[in-house]
Amino acid sequence: MFEVRERDALARIGLLETGHGRVTTPALLPVVNPNRPIISPTDLARRFHAEILITNAYILGKGPHRDSVLRQGVHEFLGFSGAVMTDSGAFQSHVYGDVDVTNAEVIDFQKRIGTDLGTMLDVFSEPSHDRTRATHDVDETVRRAREADSLRGEMALVGAVQGGLHTDLRERCAREVSALGVSVCAIGGVVPLLESYRFQDLVRVIIASKKGLDPSKPVHLFGAGHPLVFPLAALLGCDLFDSASYAKYARDGRMLFADGTRRAAELLESGCPCPVCTDRSMKEIAGSETLLAEHNLHICFGAIREVRRAIAHGDLWELVERRARAHPTLLVALRELRQHNEFLEAFEPVARRGALYYVGPETAHRPILHRFRQRVMERYQPPPAKGLLVLPENRRPFTEAYASALSRVMATADVHAVVKSIWGPVPVELDHVWPMAQSVVPDSLDVESLEAAEVFFREWAAGAGYPFGLLWEGESSLDELRARAPGHRVVDWNASRVRATADYQFGRGAADAILRGNISYVVSKNTGKVRNVLVDGDHVVSLRAEDGLFTLKAAGARRLHRAFRAPSLRIVVEADAIPFIREGKNVFAKFVREADPELRPGDESLVVSPDDELCAVAQSSMNRQEMLAFKRGVAAHVREGVPPSPSALPR
Amino acid sequence: MFEVRERDALARIGLLETGHGRVTTPALLPVVNPNRPIISPTDLARRFHAEILITNAYILGKGPHRDSVLRQGVHEFLGFSGAVMTDSGAFQSHVYGDVDVTNAEVIDFQKRIGTDLGTMLDVFSEPSHDRTRATHDVDETVRRAREADSLRGEMALVGAVQGGLHTDLRERCAREVSALGVSVCAIGGVVPLLESYRFQDLVRVIIASKKGLDPSKPVHLFGAGHPLVFPLAALLGCDLFDSASYAKYARDGRMLFADGTRRAAELLESGCPCPVCTDRSMKEIAGSETLLAEHNLHICFGAIREVRRAIAHGDLWELVERRARAHPTLLVALRELRQHNEFLEAFEPVARRGALYYVGPETAHRPILHRFRQRVMERYQPPPAKGLLVLPENRRPFTEAYASALSRVMATADVHAVVKSIWGPVPVELDHVWPMAQSVVPDSLDVESLEAAEVFFREWAAGAGYPFGLLWEGESSLDELRARAPGHRVVDWNASRVRATADYQFGRGAADAILRGNISYVVSKNTGKVRNVLVDGDHVVSLRAEDGLFTLKAAGARRLHRAFRAPSLRIVVEADAIPFIREGKNVFAKFVREADPELRPGDESLVVSPDDELCAVAQSSMNRQEMLAFKRGVAAHVREGVPPSPSALPR
């Protein structure tokens, strides 16, 4: 079983339960060659804190230790009390052309040696395979996955995804294999891509596979053992990595680093803070395969921990964009991601703790910013005005004095104002929404970002489609703005921000629904910003200072529930769970029957009964696809239970 | 004394001799607070391999340990047998507004405690100081530097460079202070810039100071203790860094990383491979000031070693460009560098071992590429032709088949061909010169790089100024090229490459000078490329496979010596040294009297006597400014001594 604890992009920190303990993911599985263990499994556990390792069932079954491992079981044989995954021989078929073992034999052997995760014998689909051959690879892999599922007994099974570079085949294979009784889904056939730095193809293969995969199952990326790829692969939803690289590169005198590989003999110093490099001279290290392997393991485990740190902190995108500079081919892979924003966006949380940092011209294409631009187009309604005032990037976020001068100009000249930011046009009423007010952007920008800002603006202006009587551009100083508006009328910022935010966050029409009636605000004494919004005396929403979005209250939820039809904003739960949810208990994924496909992790949502009665207001922690797939974990954190309406009570 | 062993950009790996051993630079000097040492000096040496540390003479002199340190000397007092540098109290005057000690007192105290490097009491020039105030800061600092020099006795003195943000004042202060008897020059007054991430200003201050500084003296950047700045500051020629940060941040519960700072309490894992983070839980680390300080030290020392690794390997520019993505303000600083290319270029070696990696749109502005564009404009002479064929970036470097098809087109259609690369226009005859054939560039490029390629091309086309009868653009495939030229005449690649390279490397006219006569080539059997060039039977130059540049032979040197007037290509050495140099001994900097200001590290050069008699051909390892400044180290490695001409022999 797999449970998610933290998430960022498609990455997650999860707990994978095995027959030998829980494994925190993303996890690195060091490959142990049973015939030539360079670091003993005992040391892997004791000195490197490995919770899981991987060894090869095919090699064990064919090798001199077959009888011992059958007699002792794989854990005792290796001297490792943590989780053990075994591979099947598919990679050996890639290397040697064929293997002399059947799927059924290898499953049987893995059961007998007591592996925690046993792998089916899939067909290694080379990147060069044409559609016909790749179709055959997939058909045969799916057939064997079914066979393995039927034979596995109590063994947790690893199913493989093949299909070469054919994205539709990858997606089909992923869908069919992950629908079976497999505990882990492994993306296979990628080693040739990794070996030749074909990271753009790797991205396409992972994304195609993820589209088909059951999101509740952990994903293993077979053969990915170089720290260079961990951040990107984790970002795309890979949870497990196996590394033979630490040993292979050591044998070849090479050292792994987060930004590449270097030959030990060519270095006077490694520039690495790991225990090996801190305590030993470069000469000693270069002369010892064991020390090289230890260094490589420290770097690989460190890189996996760094990925987990970034997921927990919510800055995995920054890590990926920074690391992409380690090699031009990684940068090309990063630039590929924008092609898949429709898919990636569905998994992106609505906000995170810290700031969003500009890393390069790729930053503007992150899913969170793609979503902002999309929602501004689809959900935001500009107030009626005679013209548009276009403000430059550097006015964001607004100071109080600037906002005040701006509001006078807007009211007096009857204009509507938008910042032409490098993230896209930002209506001034939405300048406080994450990450618009929480971005760290350089003072001077690259040409690509500036050009993108123009393109984003034009797309929006064309899409907005309302007639601009006048269009001023480039006002920036307070004095200029003051000179424009000698009058004294001012825009009501509170009202316009609250309206714009409601539509932006919940969908067009939400402002009308929530704010119909007599509106009043509770305003922060320190910042002058709206905290709570009351309508006809009911507290409908609170505005969060940290991300500029609303926390929905029961009264607001009732209004949205009346105004928006199912499935909008809803999470439909099983009838059994409703009494608990009304009491304020969280919504567990296994009780979710349906949900709005537009809901995103972090979104405010309406928890309803199968006949659409409002039971609670909650903050979702999954999207629809995840809520329906997961059997474990919280789908939404209930903020407030809503009691049954009198008409619905049993009489 | 300071001697340079390796160099890259303005950075160098050096050896600084002190009264307590040699220190390898770039070096980190951990700050030891004598009243509150969080890691003992013994541990700094034993566990962190610190060769040098820094403590504060002002605090020692005012504190409770004054008598002990005077009695024991600073080394015994601290329990540290390596080098000790002491600071003077100038930073305390920045923090507290003033200090109650005089320059003379603090110099005297440092002499008495036996410090290895004692610092004058300079005037801390705040970035906010206007010109008048900063002028006073500089005048007073220079006055005190003179005083300190007169008082220092045997103590090695650290002189300080002040002047706030006023670049001319910085340069003057640097020139006047480094002309005195100081062993180390320290750039001061930068802590306020570091604290507020004003890295663009930091770059301006360092460059202005470096312009005035004696290049033979090591440069200390006072108060720079965050690994974020080490690569950039080293690139600009800073050799010593002191870090109180490791302790200060630890006290505040914060952890240093190469890409920034993080609060320990907010982390579940640090994602760091250092001994502390490998062995301890995050909870333990977060709760212990000592463990935090140890982690911070491991990271800082690791970052310094990484800088040294990059210098030795010649990829410091890549490291700097990658690390600049850690914060937008660092990226702005990186983008500032192109404004200083005239200065930076003078220190840039002509080639290096490995490939040049594209990191971002800033890469095209590296000094080495700036130089390539400049030399193509100034030195390269296009062959007479009726037109210009402009080839796209992706044809570089050429395959043999492509070169052959291209040569037919060029000869038959009488055109001259240039690649419109993102590094600037590359005449096809120069496509093998480093780094044109040794660049790793992504398949798809950012808009800024593409736009820069256009601008570079237009600048060149405008500057080249010859009438193009026709201009074809965009031919790329072999088939297209073959279709253009059914004829059989071909360009002689060997001849055209050798001519173009000679002019590019030695200056316009070099091809005529070297290649007058009967030319023959020794060609590599494996690659078909020219190895040696013979004229009238004399071996004049060899073409190096690794960087596409010539190694000059005595016969070639004689021809260049006749054709180019002094000071071109010359290193003038003292008469005393000439017999040794003729025998093939290297040219030591202390014997250099003059040199061509156009010579760059790695350039082939003519070693001549004061009356311009050719004595040897050599590969320079310094530029003119360095040759004249250094009293230690090799200015040029002699390839071949040249015997005196018969007329010059004593009769």
- Which of A267, A269, A301 to mutate against chain B (most B CBs within 10 Å)? A269
Higher-pLDDT residue of B12, A458 = B12
A277, A322, A332 member nearest B442 (Cβ): A332
Contact A470, A393 (CB under 8 A): no
- Rounded CA-CA distance B277/B292 in Å is 10
| Least confidently predicted of A182-186, A618-622, B138-142, B444-448 | B444-448
Among chain B residues, CA nearest to A440: B328
- Predicted confidence band of residue A207 (pLDDT cuts 50, 70, 90): very high
Helix (H, G, I), strand (E, B) or coil at A8: strand
Amino acid at residue number B367: P
Higher-pLDDT residue of A650, A348 = A348
Residue A400 burial (10 A CB sphere; 0-12, 13-18, 19+): exposed
Within 8 A of A39 by CB-CB distance, chain B residues are: none
Q: Which helix (H) or strand (E) holds B36?
A: none
- Predicted confidence band of residue A468 (pLDDT cuts 50, 70, 90): low
- Which of B255, B261, B268, B300 to mutate against chain A (most A CBs within 10 Å)? B268
- Rounded CA-CA distance B562/B560 in Å is 5
What is the structure's pLDDT at A648?
Answer: 52
- Predicted confidence band of residue A471 (pLDDT cuts 50, 70, 90): low
- Residue in the structure block whose two tokens are 């489609």: A465
- How many Cβ atoms are within 10 Å of B292's Cβ, its own excluded? 25
Within 8 A of B361 by CB-CB distance, chain A residues are: 361, 446-448
Size of interface A-B (CB pairs under 8 A): 155
- Predicted confidence band of residue B335 (pLDDT cuts 50, 70, 90): very high
- Which of A447, A449, A456 to mutate against chain B (most B CBs within 10 Å)? A447
Within 8 A of B265 by CB-CB distance, chain A residues are: none
Tokens of A556: 């607001």
pLDDT tens-digit readout, B338-355:
999 999 999 999 999 889
What is the structure's pLDDT at B469?
Answer: 55
Distances (CA, A) of B155 to B15, B53, B148: 18, 17, 10
A270, A325, A332 member nearest B321 (Cβ): A325
Please name the residues between 343 and 372 in chain B that touch chain A, using a CB distance below 8 Å: 357-361
- Rounded CA-CA distance B121/B56 in Å is 12
* Given A87, A116, A431, A603, the catalytic residue: A87
Half-sphere exposure for B148 (CA within 13 Å, toward CB): 32
* Given B8, B87, B547, B596, the catalytic residue: B87
Contact B178, B140 (CB under 8 A): no
Tokens of B306: 């990484």
- Predicted confidence band of residue B476 (pLDDT cuts 50, 70, 90): low
Q: Which residues contact A4 (CB under 8 A, 6 or more apart)?
A: A12, A13, A14, A630, A633
- Rounded CA-CA distance A134/A123 in Å is 9
**Whether B447 and A448 lie within 8 Å, measured CB to CB:** yes
Please name the residues between 448 and 477 in chain B that touch chain A, using a CB distance below 8 Å: 448, 451
Within 8 A of A321 by CB-CB distance, chain B residues are: 325
Within 8 A of B259 by CB-CB distance, chain A residues are: 322
Kind of pairing between the strands at A260-263 and A254-257? antiparallel
**Whether B332 and A359 lie within 8 Å, measured CB to CB:** no
- Rounded CA-CA distance A518/B436 in Å is 70
3-state secondary structure A73-86: CHHHHHCCCCEEEE
**Whether A328 and B272 lie within 8 Å, measured CB to CB:** no
Most confident of A186-190, A641-645, B56-60: A186-190
A306, A308, A447 member nearest B447 (Cβ): A447
Average pLDDT value for chain B: 93
- Rounded CA-CA distance B601/A58 in Å is 56
Q: Would the pLDDT of A389 be above 60?
A: yes
Q: How many percent of chain A have pLDDT more than 90?
A: 80
- How many Cβ atoms are within 10 Å of B476's Cβ, its own excluded? 13
**Whether A273 and B441 lie within 8 Å, measured CB to CB:** no
Half-sphere exposure for A151 (CA within 13 Å, toward CB): 23
Largest CA distance in chain B: 93
Calculate the CA A76 to chain-centre distance: 37
Sheet holding B387-392, edge to edge: B424-427, B415-421, B387-392, B470-473
What is the structure's pLDDT at B647?
Answer: 62
Q: Would the pLDDT of A583 be above 70?
A: yes
Contact A553, A439 (CB under 8 A): no
- Predicted confidence band of residue A99 (pLDDT cuts 50, 70, 90): confident
Is some CB atom of chain B closer than 8 A to the CB atom of A545?
Answer: no
Q: Residues A460, A465, A471, A476: is their CA dihedral positive or negative?
A: negative
Provide DSSP, B455-496: HHHHHHHHHH----SEEEE---SHHHHHHH--S-----HHHH
**Whether A448 and B444 lie within 8 Å, measured CB to CB:** no
3-state secondary structure B560-580: HHHHCCCCCCEEEECHHHHHH
Within 8 A of A265 by CB-CB distance, chain B residues are: none
What is the structure's pLDDT at B306?
Answer: 97
pLDDT tens-digit readout, B97-128:
888 899 999 999 999 999 999 999 999 999 99
What is the structure's pLDDT at A168?
Answer: 98
Q: Would the pLDDT of B651 be above 70?
A: no
B308, B448, B451 member nearest A271 (Cβ): B308
Kind of pairing between the strands at B240-243 and B260-263? unpaired
Q: Which helix (H) or strand (E) holds A209?
A: helix A199-212
Provide DSSP, B337-361: GGGGHHHHHTT--S--SSPEEP-ST
Higher-pLDDT residue of B90, A130 = A130
Kind of pairing between the strands at A254-257 and A240-243? unpaired
Q: How many percent of chain A have pLDDT more than 70?
A: 96
3-state secondary structure A28-76: EEEEECCCCCCCCHHHHHHCCCCCEEEEEHHHHHHCCCHHHHHHHCHHH
Contact A94, A191 (CB under 8 A): yes
Higher-pLDDT residue of A629, B90 = A629
What is the structure's pLDDT at B402?
Answer: 81
**Whether B259 and A326 lie within 8 Å, measured CB to CB:** no
Within 8 A of A307 by CB-CB distance, chain B residues are: 271
**Whether B302 and A361 lie within 8 Å, measured CB to CB:** no
**Whether A325 and B444 lie within 8 Å, measured CB to CB:** no
| Least confidently predicted of A189-203, A429-443, B183-197 | A429-443
8-state DSSP, B371: H
Q: What is the signed CA dihedral for B502, B318, B339, B219, rounded to 10 degrees? A: -100
What is the structure's pLDDT at A296?
Answer: 97
Q: Would the pLDDT of B215 be above 80?
A: yes
8-state DSSP, A443: S
Q: Which residues contact B479 (CB under 8 A, 6 or more apart)?
A: none
Within 8 A of B313 by CB-CB distance, chain A residues are: 262, 266-267
What is the structure's pLDDT at A650?
Answer: 52
Q: Would the pLDDT of B649 be above 70?
A: no
Q: Which helix (H) or strand (E) holds A249?
A: helix A245-251
Higher-pLDDT residue of A444, B344 = B344
Within 8 A of B360 by CB-CB distance, chain A residues are: 325, 360, 446
Name the minimum distance, in Å, from the CA of A2 to any CA of chain B. Answer: 20
Q: Which residues contact A628 (CB under 8 A, 6 or more apart)?
A: A589, A592, A594, A595
Within 8 A of A302 by CB-CB distance, chain B residues are: 271-273, 277-278
Is some CB atom of chain A closer than 8 A to the CB atom of B307?
Answer: yes
- A459 closest CA partner among A502, A428, A418: A418
Please name the residues between 479 and 498 in chain B that touch chain A, using a CB distance below 8 Å: none
**Whether B360 and A270 lie within 8 Å, measured CB to CB:** no
Please name the residues between 413 and 452 in chain B that touch chain A, using a CB distance below 8 Å: 440-444, 446-448, 451
Distances (CA, A) of B104 to B82, B107, B284, B527: 26, 5, 47, 68
**For residue A185, what are the β-bridge partners?**
A159, A219
Q: B242 an active-site residue?
A: no
What is the structure's pLDDT at B650?
Answer: 52
- Rounded CA-CA distance A409/A487 in Å is 8
Q: Would the pLDDT of B413 be above 80?
A: no
- Rounded CA-CA distance B207/B213 in Å is 10
Contact B334, B324 (CB under 8 A): yes
Q: What is the ipTM of this complex?
A: 0.93
What is the structure's pLDDT at B407?
Answer: 84
- How many Cβ atoms are within 10 Å of A235's Cβ, its own excluded? 25
- Predicted confidence band of residue A562 (pLDDT cuts 50, 70, 90): very high
- Which of B325, B338, B454 to mutate against chain A (most A CBs within 10 Å)? B325
Is some CB atom of chain B closer than 8 A to the CB atom of A156?
Answer: no
Most confident of A90-104, A189-203, A465-479, B428-442: A189-203
Please name the residues between 563 and 622 in chain A that touch chain B, using a CB distance below 8 Å: none
Is some CB atom of chain A closer than 8 A to the CB atom of B310?
Answer: yes
The phi, psi pair for B616, rounded to 5°, reads -165, 165
- Predicted confidence band of residue A412 (pLDDT cuts 50, 70, 90): confident
| Least confidently predicted of A261-270, A303-312, A482-491, B49-58 | A482-491
Stretch B358-383: mean pLDDT: 94
Q: Would the pLDDT of B396 be above 70?
A: no
- B31 closest CA partner among B82, B99, B108, B86: B86
Please name the residues between 23 and 52 in chain B that touch chain A, using a CB distance below 8 Å: 48
Distances (CA, A) of A319 to B197, B231, B637: 20, 19, 44
Within 8 A of A294 by CB-CB distance, chain B residues are: none
Q: Which residues contact B195 (CB under 8 A, 6 or more apart)?
A: none
Start-to-end Cα distance in chain B = 42
Among chain A residues, CA nearest to B363: A325
Q: Would the pLDDT of A297 be above 90?
A: yes
Is some CB atom of chain B closer than 8 A to the CB atom of A277?
Answer: yes
Helix pair B131-151, B103-113: axis angle to 10 deg: 40
What is the structure's pLDDT at A476?
Answer: 67
Contact A88, A105 (CB under 8 A): no
Average pLDDT value for chain A: 93
pLDDT tens-digit readout, B284-317:
999 999 999 999 999 999 999 999 999 999 999 9
Q: Which residues contact B526 (CB under 8 A, 6 or more apart)?
A: none
- Residue in the structure block whose two tokens are 């720290």: A227
**Whether A322 and B443 lie within 8 Å, measured CB to CB:** no
Tokens of A527: 């910042």
